[in-house]
Chain A
Amino acid sequence: MKKPFAVVAIFVAVCSVCFAAAGQYSFGDGRFYADLLPSDELYPEALFDIYSPQSDLTPMFLSGGVSNPIDLRAIVQDSAGMNQYVDLPYRDDDLGSDDNMYLRMKTGINLSLFRIGFGLHDALSKPLVEIEGSVQGTVSTLFCGFEKNDTLGFDGTYFFGANVRIADIVSLRFGLHHFSGHYGDEMLEKFYAKNGIDFSSSDPKLKINGTAYKYIGLMEYVRDNSYLMGVSVQTPWFVRIYGELEIPKNPSWIRPFAHTPADYENTIPGDEGRPTLIDRIGGDAADGEHWKQSQLDAEQELKRSGNYKALRIMTGVEVTVPIPSFGSVFAGVNIQLHQDGQTKHQYGQYSADNPWEFEITAGGGIEIGSGLRIEAFYHEGRVPALNWFYSRTKMVGVGFSIDG
Chain B
Amino acid sequence: MKKFLASAFLILASISAGFAFGQYSLFDDAIDLELVPSDELYPEAIFDMYSPQTDFSLMDLASGQANPSSIRTSSLNTSTGKQEYVDLPYSDGFADDDDSYLRMKTGANISLLRLGFLDQRMEIEASIQGALDTIFAVFGGSTNLGFDGTYFAGANMRLFNTVSLRFGIHHFSGHYGDEVLDDFYNHNFPDGDTSFTRNDTVYQFNNLVEYVRDNSFLAGISIQTPWLVRLYCELELPKSPSWIRPVADIPADYSTFRNDEQSLIEAIGGDENFTASQLEADEASKRSGLYRAMRIQTGAEVLIPVKYVGTVFAGINVQLHQDGQTLHEVGGYSPDNPWEVEVTVGGGLDIAGSGVRVEAYYHDGRMPLLNWYYDRVKFISVGLSIDS
Contacts and interface: CB of A to CB of B under 8 A. Distances in A.
Interface string B1-35: 11011001100100110011011000000000001
Contacts of A57: 130
Nearest to A53: B106
A144 B113 CA distance: 29
B192 interface: yes
B181 interface: yes
B243 to A, nearest CB: 9
B138 A1 contact: yes
B108 A156 contact: no
Contacts of B20: 323, 326, 366
A39 B36 CA distance: 17
Interface in B59-75: 60
Nearest to A154: B147
B362 interface: no
Nearest to A183: B178
B71 to A, nearest CB: 10
Interface in A166-225: 182-186, 188-189, 192, 196-201, 203, 205, 217
A92 to B, nearest CB: 18
A182 B351 contact: no
A327 B100 CA distance: 44
A57 B99 CA distance: 35
A294 interface: no
A366 B16 contact: yes
Interface residues of B, number: 79
A88 interface: no
Given A107-B54, A156-B104, A185-B177, A398 B192 contact: no
Contact of A101 (B1, B19, B23, B310): B1
A70 B125 CA distance: 41
**Most chain A CB within a 10 A radius of its CB, from B23, B134, B178, B388:** B178
B382 interface: yes
B225 interface: no
A189 B207 contact: yes
A20 B60 contact: no
Interface string A364-404: 01101110101010000000000000000000101100101
A298 interface: no
B192 A205 contact: yes
Nearest to B309: A20
B35 A368 contact: yes
B237 interface: no
Contacts of A197: 185, 192
Contact of A217 (B36, B99, B182, B380): B182
B320 interface: no
A287 interface: yes
Contacts of B141: 287
B186 A199 contact: yes
B351 A20 contact: yes
Interface residues of A, number: 74
A287 B182 CA distance: 11
B160 interface: no
A4 B69 CA distance: 22
A107 B5 contact: no
Contacts of B348: 16
B213 to A, nearest CB: 14
Contacts of A182: 144, 147, 177-179
Contacts of A125: none
B16 A402 contact: no
Interface stretch (B76-84, B290-298, B352-360): B352-360
B339 to A, nearest CB: 28
Nearest to A186: B175
Interface string B319-362: 00000000000000000000000000000110111101010100
Nearest to B60: A5
A64 to B, nearest CB: 8
Contacts of B182: 217
A61 interface: yes
A156 B388 CA distance: 18
Contacts of B178: 153, 182-185, 188
Contacts of B132: 105-107, 139-141, 154
A36 interface: yes
18 contacts: A1-B100, A1-B139, A8-B382, A16-B349, A20-B306, A20-B308, A37-B351, A55-B108, A105-B130, A105-B149, A105-B151, A107-B130, A182-B178, A185-B181, A199-B186, A323-B20, A374-B12, A398-B12
Given A55-B388, A205-B192, 4 more contacts: A105-B149, A188-B178, A197-B192, A370-B37
Interface of B: 1-2, 4-5, 8-9, 12, 15-16, 19-20, 22-23, 35-38, 54, 56, 58, 60, 97-100, 104-108, 110, 130-134, 138-139, 141, 144, 146-147, 149, 151, 175-179, 181-182, 185-186, 189-193, 207-208, 306, 308-310, 348-349, 351-354, 356, 358, 360, 380, 382-384, 386, 388
